[in-house]
Amino acid sequence: MDDSDNESMDSAERELQDYLDDLRTIYDMDDTEDIHPMHNTSHNPLQVPGFGIVPFKYELHYSRRFAHGFNDWRQIPCPTARELAMTAIMNVLTEKENWRVDIFNDEVIGEWRGEVSSMKLFSEKSWDWCLAELRDKAHLFEDTKCVRVLDTGSCIMKSDARVPLELGTELRDYTALLYSEMKSEKRPNQQVQLNLVDPSLYPLVYGRTCVLSNGEKLDLDTCLDFYESGTPAPLYAKNAPPPNVLQGIHEGKERPFAAGRISYGDIGMLRWSSRFQWLPCEVEFTGDEGTDVAITSYINNLSPVHHKPLYGIIEKLISLAIEPWNRSLIKGRSGPVPIRLRTYDAEYNSDQVRLEPGEKLKESDPQHPEPGTAFSYEDWKDGRNGKVVMNMDDYYLIKYSVPLDYKHDMYEINLQDTFRKEGLQVIVKMSSIELTPSQPSSPVGDWTIDGMLNEHIVATSIYLYDESNVTDAKITFRQEVWTQPKCYGCYSEDNNAFAEVFGLDARQYEDGPSMQELGSVPMRKGRLLTWPNTMQHRIEPFELTNKSEPGHRRFIMLHLVDPHYRICSTRNVPPQRHDWWIKSALESAGLAAHGVPPELNDMITGYTEEWPIGKDEAERNKVDMMEEHRWVNRAIEERAWRIHACQCMGGGGE
């Protein structure tokens, strides 16, 4: 082994040790740590991350918050390809219009079995398991009006029945005129996505945005009266990748951070923004029980005066999203659903039982484990899924004390009960993807985690309420998994077998991040989809059906801020939009009533266009913020790649 190999091994050892230190920090640190109380009400000075005594990069112990996907949560152990195939079957069958009724009809079930029997890794045992599970899902659907799919660690909640049709129609009709006005202002060759409500415009800008930090607060009725209030938010040292890394990101390189000689820990710092934070609105529960809510501070970039009816619609959508959030959020180390197959090695069908001198073990087709082998369906439902099909090589687990999930921790989440007094914080985005004959298709999306660590987003709901002249859409999901081959008893001579058994791309397994693709969920009009922010998602491209006519797809996204935190919100930040202020100021002055010519109004508008923040500055900030979002997703991927790479190089071994 030459010096370069030794250097690589030393680097791999350091990367693995850094990663395992991270795991111990997340899982093993004392949960009696110093807790900084967080609040942003009017009773006391503002105490949220970055304000008061709460550190800017403050994270609670994992047991005191929900999990997120910024290299915080990963599925341990890695789900098998067989389990992925089973969840794919259930995802397909729950797309059928009357599935929750027909799943109890033996004749229909026979037809379905024939349809899915050609799907990857279909077997009689997996079909029996899926049938039992789908029947349980159908019973649960009657109460929740949604179904959990692709649930191997993380999960997605989907529903075509939860949001009433009339609510979607009301939302479509109200926003149609607003989008029509936006399209008339749209320049040729501009982006195909129009954002009616864009959290990246006029966000919290550290060192620039004025904040009510001494106990004041805004509400919907008075928010337009506080333009001159507040003091600038604290300014933090700029945090950005080196120039050559940024260049690699812009050029779309597979591993842009490889050129920067930037450490695993320093890459982790990029998950925080030192410049911006999306501003959530405050949402309070109404009454003594239930999920009805009221929005009590303005939605950033949506006027509570001119668009008050839209606030009522969004309140109803948030209320309807709470139950899916309850059933998809991840608490602690375990996902909401136990894994269905637990194995740490591959079995083989091989007639070769002895090697000749100097002969290497030849790769052979591995056997895929079957459900029900180590534990029954009933055991699984109760979380008794600790028995394994194939045992692990525990050398590395003992050496580094890597935490593993041997038995599932069952839990329930009820946001409406636990956080009834504090309420929730929600970030709202409303968008329309507009296609034309000159731009007939949407771009390929990037793998994305929502927001940055500043926002502490733990779940997202998307509701598609309008579409016209476009092909089908879908969202694809993937999650970070633990793929240390020595722990799984699989060595480099048989990486292909390991990748096959655990549903990983063989090429990516050898040179890629430890990410596992879970599958895709169709997105159609009237559907509400919800997922925890432990997963990366990618909106797949679609195109015009009739290439000679325009088309669109419109949706609203609701991002849930972890309610274990409080972050700076629109309760604490007076509106920053110049157009809101100038309109309010001119109306208050009554210039029109006194016959003041429009030219004078235009002159006043021009002289004050940068206060509080002008449109040009807001657009520049948005470009910079989107740049940060791009590099944070690449940073997450790089950290997942590095730990996987150093595992495969033998990091931590002797």
Backbone phi, psi, residue 448, to 5°: -140, 135
Q: What is the mean pLDDT of residues 22-43?
A: 64
Residue 27: predicted pLDDT:
45
- What are the boundaries of each domain within the chain? 1-28, 37-79+152-336+414-481+505-577+612-649
Residue 392: predicted pLDDT:
66
Higher pLDDT, 77 or 281: 281
**Which residues lie closer than 8 Å to 347 by C-beta, 6 or more apart?**
366, 367, 369, 389, 390
Please check the confidence at residue 322 and state whether its pLDDT lies above 90. Answer: yes
Measured CA to CA in angstroms, residue 236 lies from 49, 122, 135, 453, 466 at distances of: 12, 54, 53, 15, 41
What distance in Å separates the CA atoms of residue 621 and residue 639, rounded to the nearest whole number? 27
pTM greater than 0.95 (yes/no): no
What distance in Å separates the CA atoms of residue 153 and residue 78, rounded to the nearest whole number? 9
Residue 350 — very low, low, confident or very high, per pLDDT cuts 50/70/90? low
Please check the confidence at residue 473 and state whether its pLDDT lies above 60. Answer: yes
Q: What is the mean pLDDT of residues 289-316?
A: 96
Bridge partners, 464 (sequence order): 555
User: Among 86-90, 96-100, 605-609, where is mean pLDDT lowest?
Assistant: 605-609
Dig out the tokens for 40 from the structure. Answer: 């942003």
Amino acid at 401: S
Higher pLDDT, 507 or 375: 375
What are 536-590's pLDDT values in tens digits?
999 999 999 999 999 999 999 999 999 999 999 999 999 998 788 776 655 555 5
Nearest CA-CA partner of 274 in 210, 213, 208: 208
Please check the confidence at residue 506 and state whether its pLDDT lies above 90. Answer: no
Residue 592: predicted pLDDT:
54
Q: Three-class SS of residue 519? A: strand
Run of H or E residues at 640 = helix 615-648
Q: What is the mean pLDDT of residues 490-515?
A: 72
Residue 130: predicted pLDDT:
98
Answer yes or no: are the C-beta atoms of 545 and 449 closer than 8 Å.
no
∠ Cα 560 564 568 (to 5°)? 65
Higher pLDDT, 273 or 578: 273
Nearest CA-CA partner of 475 in 75, 161, 158, 141: 158
Residue 34: predicted pLDDT:
60
Measured CA to CA in angstroms, residue 280 lies from 66, 180, 428, 456 at distances of: 18, 26, 7, 11
User: Among 9-23, 50-64, 386-400, 582-596, where is mean pLDDT lowest?
Assistant: 9-23
What are 101-159's pLDDT values in tens digits?
999 999 999 999 999 999 999 999 999 999 999 999 999 999 999 999 999 989 999 99
